[in-house]
């Protein structure tokens, strides 16, 4: 036990920063934010050790533990909200059906009882009209929704 106390008392400030970098590497690998707060606490304790606590290992450990607990309790909820509220410029990037909404298509098979076929780009799609109305072959329609493999369209 005395060897550990001797090590902690003689530990230079930059050991805290090495611990912080190690914890950040673990955080990058896990992506959970649980290891992020001890890493942040280690950076702060390293700065405090350099400026105020040189050799006072009890205060260093207490500050590290207190900051880790405080960050985990009070900062995690805000960080999780921020991490999960990231918006992109391409909200429909992986929503292929949503990308077609607002686009135009040409009726290939006339609509009977609100159902027919439309050509969108180079593909023939099953289609259903919003109003259930008949739409003639060759008419231009606008895609309002995509339900599986069926386009919902309305006459333009």
Query: What is the per-residue pLDDT across 72-113, written as a single tens digit (0 to 9) for each?
Result: 898 888 877 777 666 667 777 777 778 888 999 999 999 988
Q: Is 45 helix (H, G, I), strand (E, B) or coil?
A: helix
pLDDT at 8 over 80: no
- 13-46 as b/e: b if 16+ CB within 10 A: bebbbebbeebbeebeeeeeeebbbbbbbbbebb
- Give the pLDDT of residue 79: 78
HSE of 11, CA atoms in CB hemisphere, 13 A: 23
Q: What share of the chain is helix, strand, coil (3-state, %, to 5)?
A: 50, 25, 30
CB 83 within 8 A of CB 33: yes
CATH fit for domain 96-155, picks 1.10.287.130, 3.40.50.150, 2.40.50.140, 3.10.20.30: 2.40.50.140
The helix or strand, by DSSP H or E, that contains position 57, with its residue range, turns out to be helix 57-70
- Give the pLDDT of residue 43: 94
CB 107 within 8 A of CB 120: no
Check: pTM over 0.95? Answer yes or no.
no
Q: Is 147 helix (H, G, I), strand (E, B) or coil?
A: strand
Neighbours of 153 (CB within 10 A): 30
Work out the pLDDT band at 23, boundaries 50, 70, 90: very high
- Give the pLDDT of residue 91: 73
- Give the pLDDT of residue 86: 63
d(CA 72, CA 70): 5
């Amino acid at each position: 036990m005395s060897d550990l106390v001797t090590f902690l008392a003689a530990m230079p400030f930059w050991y805290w920063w090495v611990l912080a970098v190690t914890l950040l590497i673990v955080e990058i690998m896990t992506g959970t934010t649980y290891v992020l707060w001890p890493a942040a606490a280690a950076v702060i304790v390293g700065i405090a050790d350099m400026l105020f606590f040189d050799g006072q290992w009890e205060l260093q450990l207490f500050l590290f533990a207190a900051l880790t607990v405080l960050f985990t309790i009070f900062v995690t909820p805000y960080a999780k909200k921020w991490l999960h509220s990231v918006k992109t410029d391409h909200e429909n990037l992986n929503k292929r059906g949503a990308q077609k909404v607002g686009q135009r298509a040409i009726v290939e098979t006339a609509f009977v009882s609100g159902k027919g076929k439309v050509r969108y780009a180079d593909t023939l799609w099953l289609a259903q009209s919003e109003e259930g109305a008949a739409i003639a072959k060759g008419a231009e329609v606008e895609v309002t929704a995509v339900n599986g493999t069926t386009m919902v369209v309305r006459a333009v």
